[in-house]
Structure 1
Amino acid sequence: ISAGLVDKVSQEDLATLKKLQEEFAVELASLRGRVDSLDVKVAKLETQQFSTTTKLRGEAIFGVAAASDGIIGNNGTLLPNGGADRTNTIFSYRVRLNLDTSFTGKDLLRTRLQASNTPNIAGTISGTAAAPVINGLGVPNSSRLSFDSESTPNTFEINRLYYKFPIGGSFTAYIAPIGQVEDILNPLNPLESDSQGAISRFSRFSPLIRIASGGGTTGLAVTGFDWKISDKVKFQTAYSASNTAAATGSGGVTGGDTKIAAQFVLNPADKLTFGIGYANAYTIGEQLNSGLNADSVPLGPIAPGIAATGFKSNTVVGSVIWDITNQFTFNAWGSWTFIDGIAGSTGATAASTTNTSWLASLSGKDLFREGDLAAISFGQPLFTTSASSGAVALPAGFIGLTSPNTPYQLEAFYRIPVSKNITITPGVFFVFNQGSNALNGTATVGVARTTFSF
């Protein structure tokens, strides 16, 4: 060293350095030992980069909803209530605990526990075709909350159980004994969250996802994959079946409600996303099992003696998301569903209908404070636009009997961030011509949803 630095370092400096080395020899030896130990640990981490980890994520919703069904007296339709416009206010909750486990750092095993007492406030129909009775506010499925639940009240149950994992660099596979199609197919709606976004069921998902989404008695099983074809194109597909754990009756992998759905997602520009999707579904009985307006068309009251044992449906959906600026986003979707009602055990088509639906939304984030979100949505819930006879001779004016008026829904909400983990979302939505009939009036639902995330 002294020879190489003779022109730059004096002999006095070298002597000082040598003296320091001698004085701190013990400390330097200890430091070398620590560095060697660190090298061993780094080598171990490089060979074992990940260990199995489970994280707990939770969410709790407190919801207050005040609703008026708008139906006054016996309105002369198939859905009389025999009384005045009914109103009520409810206070309910929903809590979820997600146990997220990863074995490689790139996969995910999710187990979700859920308990809720938030009802379908629109209720159901009982009684007979000649004298139906509404159990709830308004027409069934017309004014449901985004966070309602069909589970047993106040009982924890498994709401999700799925495993998704990468295959190569462009495929992600998904398999779920208990799941939903939206876990694979992107809903293409920035307001789809039932805890931080939309306040109504209709405003969350299109019929592509909603149809055949009921799990029956044993849950909805789903499998599929997400294929990233390029940076601008994705292809997603899923197969779902209800009651897959049932060994008899309308169960098994193919015996209950079934659906195969596929979707292309296109990103031609940074701020623009398009989607085109298709679904083929079979649902048992005279319903689509969508939880939406016009979910069922009971043929029995119209053509006594012949009822549909199932619906075969084909749905096409187009979607768009446009980030107008960094704050404002426009999104919309439109759907066409072609339905064949199957007549008894013959397999023949009893009757066919065409249903349409659409929704458009404008939202703005961080408008007054960081984390806030304001949105307004307007759309047409599922609506039967045409019908044709099959094995059932439909009467003249069938559409006038079942769907005389186009339903519409208007929704607005504002999400207020109280803290990093708490938000409050007041909002209101109106359902015009609920049940596709102007005689049913307008349902009004006001909501105050408080969400705790942890």
Structure 2
Amino acid sequence: MAAFIRKDGLNHRDSRSKLLAPLVLGATAGAILGLAQPSAAAPEPGIASSPAPNPAPNPALKLKPESEFDLAPALELDLQDPLTSEAVLSPDDPMAQVTSVSQLRDVRPTDWAFQALQSLVERYGCIAGYPDGTYRGDRAMTRYEFAAGLNACLDRVNELIASATADSTTQEDLAIIQRLQEEFQAELATLRGRIDGLEARTAELEANQFSTTTKLSGNVFFNLTGATAGGDVQIEARGLGGPLNLRGAGRGLDGRPLVQTTDDDPNITFGSYSFLNLTTSFTGRDSLVTQLAVGNSFSPANSYASAGLFNTFGTPFTDQAGTTSANVPVVRELFYDFPIGKKIKVVVGPRINWYRYFDGNAYTFFLNGASSFNASGSTLANAIDRGAGAVVRWNATDWLDLNVGYLGENTEFLNNTLFNTATNATEGIFGGTNTLTAAANIKPFDKMNVRLLYTRTNLDNNARIVNADGSVAFGVGGATSEPIYGVADDGQGGSLNGATADTFGISFDWRLAKRIGLFGRYYYGSTNLDPQNRALVDGEVNAQAVQGGVALPDLGREGALLTLSYGIPYSILDGRQYLVSGGGDGGIQHEFEATYYFPLSDNIALVPAIYMVRNPNNFSDNPTIWVGNLRTQFRF
């Protein structure tokens, strides 16, 4: 066992020992070790020193006749003053003399024990730490430090004896070792006791490497937001009164979607949104995650949105209530994540966040990148924000990850009467609205990520439509209808049984240089509408969404990020006649966004953003909407 001896222990002293005479060892030891003389300091490596003069006899040192020693003489030393490091020579002082090394608090380079151990070290190489196998001792060390080195030499000699190379161990060495053991018996016992204790604790830690722990973290967002249109905005809705999130659609007597006009700019709002995360691990590799959310914001841009487009364009992602009622906490996420082997992870739970595992992008993450609902994720990608089910993640290679997930809709901010179909016994996890998603995350080269995605969606008919003639129909649309962005019926004001959809997408992010990045998305969605009126044929709505942008990392400060984004959230290719809301007059909505994430510290950031929305609600003659937002976010 090799050990490294510290030479500057806690009880460090000046290395100049004040022994007054050479020490003569007994015949058994068979050697005479000359000790340092008064005022002869131990030389530093590489510095020559002149021989010290022979000392005058001193009565304070008493040596027994050689024949009286069993192994070697006991030392009678003058003890140094612990404060001045000067020898106290008075024989009348009871503290001036000691009779054994075991009485010394420190072991000095000139002590017999020190030199005896050094001799063993040089011959048996039992202490590692220096190229020549010695500890080059020229300083005092504590007795416990010395005992550690002695213990290493004892182990080494025992190894030699056990390996039948005992001939290399002389009787003189064994005698020296025996005496050292006697002198340092207490320290060796203490050292071995500590080692036994450490080994016991190590074994306990190995047997119980992890205990259940729960970590608390959170995010708080303050949002100051204003919006203006500078003119009349056309909105597809049956009325503008009532809560913005309950704005409904309908058809007029002419069969065309009902359109309202607003010329009022909303007031500036100041609201909050918060996450509280509880992450529990049972093995150190798994995670049980519970996320609570509460908020009270209704962003001003929602005043201009057609039915089914609440919290979409011009709305910062964190500027929301996040629940069916403001200031009422809800469970936003609840899932268990665990590994299977080294390459696969499985996520199961009653409320899984789809966006944790699909459609990610380095420059559109809502916490520090493009910040609006329409820019932080694809508008056509998925009908379910949160759902019950499972996701399997496979790290196939260093450059390829494959994710597959099935979720039945179970979203925290929607009314249980019409939504949350996974928890409704009438429909359940495999009825109602659900999605099956597969994604390949490819890393073609360093600092670039490409994602391919496919989603198969079943849409429930939970969008209530009230027509001008008083008839009520149920179509698809609203918050859980992607790739429908708005509200759709059978094309004649009648109800749907539901719909199925296929969505294909590709996205990328690329750190082109140290301070510049590029990102983009393209999604295509095709929705098949199943009318309740069997006299009608199935309808179909095809749409696309496009996004591209530039990111400037570390602009103005390390960790900062300026994101410039352009997007077309919902361009209808065909099937506009089935849309009661979202089709407009056939125009194409364009969105421009600039978001600047500026960290004030590790836990606080300011995030100003400005949004420009042209042709809102897909009306080509609608005025441009401007939205400004200042977000302060806290992380703990």
Instruction: Output the TM-score relative to the length of structure 1.
Output: 0.84
Between stretches 285-294 and 173-182, larger displacement belongs to 285-294
Match of 2:456 among 280, 290, 300: 280
Q: Would the alpha carbon gap of residues 398 and 179 (structure 1) be closer, same or farther in structure 2, given more than 3 Å must change? A: closer
Give the deviation of 1:53 after TM superposition. 0.9
Between stretches 39-48 and 155-164, larger displacement belongs to 39-48
Q: Find the aligned partners of 2:369 and 2:32 in 1 and give their Cα distance.
A: 69
What is residue 241 of structure 1 aligned with on the other side?
408
Q: Find the aligned partners of 2:32 and 2:295 in 1 and give their Cα distance.
A: 78
Superposition pairs of residues 242-321 of structure 1, within 5 angstroms: 242=409, 243-248=421-426, 251-284=427-460, 285-287=475-477, 289-290=479-480, 295-299=485-489, 303-304=492-493, 306-321=494-509
What is residue 203 of structure 1 aligned with on the other side?
375
- Tell me if structure 2 keeps the 8 A contact 1:180–1:222: no
- Tell me if structure 2 keeps the 8 A contact 1:141–1:292: no
Q: Percent identity?
A: 26
For 2:280, give the aligned amino acid.
Answer: T
- Tell me if structure 2 keeps the 8 A contact 1:64–1:90: yes
- Tell me if structure 2 keeps the 8 A contact 1:354–1:384: yes
For 2:615, give the aligned amino acid.
Answer: N
- Tell me if structure 1 keeps the 8 A contact 2:210–2:283: yes
- Tell me if structure 2 keeps the 8 A contact 1:100–1:108: yes
Give the deviation of 1:143 after TM superposition. 2.7
Give the deviation of 1:377 after TM superposition. 0.5
Q: Aligned pair 1:146/2:317, yes or no?
A: yes
Q: Aligned pair 1:65/2:225, yes or no?
A: yes
Match of 2:343 among 152, 170, 178: 170
What is residue 129 of structure 1 aligned with on the other side?
none
Q: Find the aligned partners of 2:191 and 2:503 in 1 and give their Cα distance.
A: 69
Match of 1:193 among 359, 362, 365: 365
What is residue 396 of structure 2 aligned with on the other side?
229
SS in 1 for 2:425: coil
SS in 2 for 1:193: coil
Give the deviation of 1:414 after TM superposition. 1.0
What residue ranges of structure 2 are gaps of 5+ in the alignment? 1-24, 36-109, 117-178, 237-255, 410-420, 461-474
**Structure showing the higher strand proportion among its residues:** 1
What residue ranges of structure 1 are gaps of 5+ in the alignment? 126-132, 389-393
Between stretches 8-17 and 227-236, larger displacement belongs to 8-17
Give the deviation of 1:445 after TM superposition. 1.1
SS in 1 for 2:218: strand
- Tell me if structure 2 keeps the 8 A contact 1:384–1:399: no
For 1:420, give the aligned amino acid.
Answer: D
Q: Would the alpha carbon gap of residues 370 and 214 (structure 1) be closer, same or farther in structure 2, given more than 3 Å must change? A: closer
For 1:452, give the aligned amino acid.
Answer: F
Q: Aligned pair 1:179/2:352, yes or no?
A: yes
Give the deviation of 1:293 after TM superposition. 9.7
Q: Find the aligned partners of 1:123 and 1:259 in 2 and give their Cα distance.
A: 27
Match of 1:322 among 486, 490, 510: 510
Instruction: Output the TM-score relative to the length of structure 2.
Output: 0.61
Superposition pairs of residues 357-376 of structure 1, within 5 angstroms: 357-376=545-564
- Tell me if structure 2 keeps the 8 A contact 1:181–1:222: no
For 1:38, give the aligned amino acid.
Answer: L
SS in 1 for 2:422: coil
For 1:41, give the aligned amino acid.
Answer: R
Give the deviation of 1:311 after TM superposition. 2.5
What is residue 424 of structure 1 aligned with on the other side?
606
Q: Find the aligned partners of 2:545 and 2:202 in 1 and give their Cα distance.
A: 57
Give the deviation of 1:289 after TM superposition. 3.4
What is residue 409 of structure 1 aligned with on the other side?
591
For 1:247, give the aligned amino acid.
Answer: A
Q: Aligned pair 1:50/2:210, yes or no?
A: yes
- Tell me if structure 2 keeps the 8 A contact 1:222–1:239: yes
Kindly provide the CA deviation profile for residues 126-153 of structure 1, in whole angstroms up to 9, marking residues without a partner as x: xxxxxxx9799x9873332212244121
- Tell me if structure 2 keeps the 8 A contact 1:293–1:435: no
For 1:441, give the aligned amino acid.
Answer: P
Q: Would the alpha carbon gap of residues 55 and 349 (structure 1) be closer, same or farther in structure 2, given more than 3 Å must change? A: farther
For 2:606, give the aligned amino acid.
Answer: I
Q: Work out the number of aligned pairs and report it.
A: 426
Kindly provide the CA deviation profile for residues 101-129 of structure 1, in whole angstroms up to 9, marking residues without a partner as x: 1111111110111111122544489xxxx
Q: Aligned pair 1:16/2:16, yes or no?
A: no
Between stretches 176-185 and 230-239, larger displacement belongs to 176-185
Q: Find the aligned partners of 1:10 and 1:312 in 2 and give their Cα distance.
A: 96
What is residue 130 of structure 1 aligned with on the other side?
none
Superposition pairs of residues 63-102 of structure 1, within 5 angstroms: 63-69=223-229, 71-72=231-232, 78=257, 80-102=259-281
What is residue 12 of structure 2 aligned with on the other side?
none
SS in 2 for 1:202: helix
Give the deviation of 1:307 after TM superposition. 3.3
Q: Find the aligned partners of 2:32 and 2:608 in 1 and give their Cα distance.
A: 74
SS in 2 for 1:27: helix
Kindly provide the CA deviation profile for residues 402-444 of structure 1, in whole angstroms up to 9, marking residues without a partner as x: 4511111100011111111100100111111111112332221
SS in 1 for 2:429: helix
For 1:26, give the aligned amino acid.
Answer: A
Q: Would the alpha carbon gap of residues 27 and 291 (structure 1) be closer, same or farther in structure 2, given more than 3 Å must change? A: farther
Q: Would the alpha carbon gap of residues 329 and 28 (structure 1) be closer, same or farther in structure 2, given more than 3 Å must change? A: same
For 1:34, give the aligned amino acid.
Answer: R
- Tell me if structure 2 keeps the 8 A contact 1:68–1:88: no
SS in 1 for 2:373: coil
What is residue 291 of structure 2 aligned with on the other side?
112
For 2:343, give the aligned amino acid.
Answer: S
Q: Would the alpha carbon gap of residues 401 and 225 (structure 1) be closer, same or farther in structure 2, given more than 3 Å must change? A: closer
- Tell me if structure 2 keeps the 8 A contact 1:59–1:453: yes
Kindly provide the CA deviation profile for residues 81-116 of structure 1, in whole angstroms up to 9, marking residues without a partner as x: 444242321100011110001111111110111111
Match of 1:160 among 333, 352, 363: 333
Q: Find the aligned partners of 1:69 and 1:257 in 2 and give their Cα distance.
A: 35
- Tell me if structure 2 keeps the 8 A contact 1:208–1:278: no
- Tell me if structure 2 keeps the 8 A contact 1:235–1:262: yes
For 2:450, give the aligned amino acid.
Answer: F
Of structures 1 and 2, the one scoring higher in RCO (CA 8 A, sep 6+) is: 1
- Tell me if structure 1 keeps the 8 A contact 2:400–2:441: yes
Q: Would the alpha carbon gap of residues 355 and 347 (structure 1) be closer, same or farther in structure 2, given more than 3 Å must change? A: farther
What is residue 435 of structure 1 aligned with on the other side?
617
Give the deviation of 1:22 after TM superposition. 5.4
What is residue 164 of structure 2 aligned with on the other side?
none
Between stretches 156-165 and 145-154, larger displacement belongs to 145-154
Q: Would the alpha carbon gap of residues 27 and 345 (structure 1) be closer, same or farther in structure 2, given more than 3 Å must change? A: farther
Q: Find the aligned partners of 2:479 and 2:194 in 1 and give their Cα distance.
A: 65
Give the deviation of 1:42 after TM superposition. 1.1
Q: Find the aligned partners of 1:173 and 1:312 in 2 and give their Cα distance.
A: 27
